Structure 1
């Protein structure tokens, strides 16, 4: 097992770190206040080749793997953005890149992947529904056969960056649950433009991740054609699992970067803060120990996530380490941001010191894209061999 990064990987991390620091905390603080989309930062990421890390070389990518993507996301998020920047990688190299590169038709790859690599084509994914959150097999959006295509109807909720997306990856049933023997059968993935007739969306007001809007999406008799299908009709479940598991890796990488950033901000503040005499508060064990604990937990998540990414690149099962890493990373980010705020006292509550933004944004990932409880269910059933109780 190799723990050292190769020279190429170190150069990749250095590139990502420079881009992340170029768009540092002040940039994200301003966007958060204005609820503005980070178009400039994403274009710079694409220009640096970081969006295209894992895309095929024949379509403008670098042909590398999920490990390299995780390394880049860690460094980018640690530069000042925190966990919300990782969502841009979920949206584009994962929802768009993984689905099309691994399951798309040659025509879809030619039409969309080069634009994705250049930042000209962006994506979102419409999976979650009001009555089918974590339980993706219960999606009720339905595509009714019509001629050689379908008419798509349904409602989606908590869909990220719909107004900015060129394409939306929609998860729908083409066979109803009542009609199939296996619930995994009858699910199909479609590519639909957010401005296609019959698609409407409305914003959801929320606590954090303000730089990326969340929306309710309504699908009303939306016409979809055979060329809109990603993968196989009725057999979209394996492709969806691949998208969701690689999403875990990117989510965790962003949280690991958040842990690093929050602790750095706290330590820098504590070194310069003196309250009782000449000793900086950074010397107080009451402040040191919680930050050290969060750091250790973040490092454990980092290693598990890199294991998951490496196994993914080898074509071996990686669902368990990916889920375990996400669980630990979300907890580590919660601890790191909370204790960074506590270290700063009242100033930790001030927007100008940034940790309150990191805390608000990271809180989302205790229950998204999969909740802690469902990860623990997964571990109990799949890793411990315990009976399923839900």
Structure 2
């Protein structure tokens, strides 16, 4: 039986070939400099990988989330970090599924060629976190413009993006029947916004992940940049969030395989007391357990992708895939570090860099506790806990 990790061989071979041109030294230097892998993202774009989800009619490959997830997985398995570019993949779904035909014609072909990047999504706020329906950023219509005021936090890649998906409240919460109503999605011209009404403040963090705090002061957005129907934005944004969680699950799976591959190779080669350390069950068993958990998470990833691509509800599967994969990759990271001993802390082995990168996904883009709450309420039917 073919392993799930061996499916889609042409995509895997293509990404691996590209990644060979960006070895560990490249990613290590980018991390040391707290830089952005511009050349790497440009190469992915030139070869069409970043346009995987764009329909062929708009210049893309017309692939599904399943194939996109394999692309993300392979980048991480090769030692890279898809966090530099994955935003374009999941943000794309919001525009493709809910944008007007005019919007798709205007933006998608230019995104496919790399003329434009859609890498950023502005949802999270300092005082609301994942309680999205209580966000305070407002967009008030005045003639042919919406005027935006408010604040966002942990908004990634905005400094390396031309377009941003923005969620804001267009109807006050006390004027809607349900608090999930009255929220709308806009497509923001980032460079124009930075000149007129949007301030960007970088947030330094333990991972070399470009993320920012945004401040909106009477930012004007053209009415034609509203995506879909006014007030329906929360429903639309779930499309992107389910894609995001599934793609990040795939990235964690790629990380997990990277960790177990490295741990296995080191355990074969490292000799202590005249025998390879991998001959000892105390070393073997944790690596084997990590591999088993990654393989299991992989199956849930493919189930979430299958449902998403079929247009079926997939919130439970997307959340569970993200939970299982993030947990498996973090456990594999610990095993890899422990297997390497002191050498695992040396930057030249890349274990510590990947260790930091995969740790993020216990917290973002949705924490493990919130996933457990989601499953308890929406799958098991238990009372809402918050």
Cα contact 1:20–1:77 (8 A) shared by 2: no
Indicate yes or no: 2:374 matched with 1:378: yes
Cα deviation, residue 204, structure 1: 0.6
Q: 1:115 matched to which residue of 2?
A: 110
Q: 1:201 to 1:256 in 2, by over 3 A?
A: same
Cα deviation, residue 93, structure 1: 2.0
Cα contact 1:189–1:229 (8 A) shared by 2: yes
Q: 1:254 matched to which residue of 2?
A: 251
Unaligned runs of 5+ in 2: none
Deviations 1:335-373 (CA, angstroms, capped at 9, x unpaired):
111111111111100111011011111111101111100
SS of residue matched to 1:311: helix
Indicate yes or no: 2:326 matched with 1:330: yes
Q: Please, which of 364, 387, 390 is the counterpart of residue 383 of structure 2?
A: 387
Q: 1:218 matched to which residue of 2?
A: 215
Q: 1:280 matched to which residue of 2?
A: 276
Cα deviation, residue 200, structure 1: 0.7
Cα deviation, residue 118, structure 1: 2.2
SS of residue matched to 1:262: helix
Cα distance in 2 for partners of 1:301, 1:118 equals: 33
Residues 1-390 of structure 1: matches in 2 within 5 Å? 9-81=8-80, 84-89=81-86, 91-95=87-91, 97-123=92-118, 124-195=120-191, 196=193, 197-208=196-207, 210=208, 212-276=209-273, 278-390=274-386
Cα distance in 1 for partners of 2:246, 2:20 equals: 22
Cα deviation, residue 17, structure 1: 2.1
**Structure 1, 9-18 or 52-61: larger mean CA deviation:** 9-18
Cα contact 1:19–1:76 (8 A) shared by 2: no
Instruction: Please give the root-mean-square deviation of Cα atoms over the aligned residues, in Å.
Output: 1.8
* TM-score under structure 1 length normalisation: 0.94
Cα distance in 2 for partners of 1:292, 1:86 equals: 27
Aligned length: 382
Cα distance in 2 for partners of 1:215, 1:188 equals: 22
Deviations 1:81-133 (CA, angstroms, capped at 9, x unpaired):
1xx314512x11211x1111111122221222122222221121111100111
Cα distance in 2 for partners of 1:388, 1:52 equals: 39
Unaligned runs of 5+ in 1: none
Deviations 1:9-49 (CA, angstroms, capped at 9, x unpaired):
32122112222333232211111001111111111112222
Cα distance in 2 for partners of 1:313, 1:169 equals: 21
Cα contact 2:68–2:89 (8 A) shared by 1: no
Cα distance in 1 for partners of 2:290, 2:61 equals: 34
SS of residue matched to 1:31: helix
Cα distance in 2 for partners of 1:287, 1:185 equals: 53
Cα distance in 1 for partners of 2:210, 2:83 equals: 14
Cα contact 2:59–2:112 (8 A) shared by 1: yes
Deviations 1:301-324 (CA, angstroms, capped at 9, x unpaired):
111011110111111121111111
Cα contact 2:84–2:157 (8 A) shared by 1: no
Cα deviation, residue 234, structure 1: 0.9
Cα contact 1:186–1:233 (8 A) shared by 2: yes
Q: 1:131 to 1:187 in 2, by over 3 A?
A: same
Cα contact 2:37–2:84 (8 A) shared by 1: no
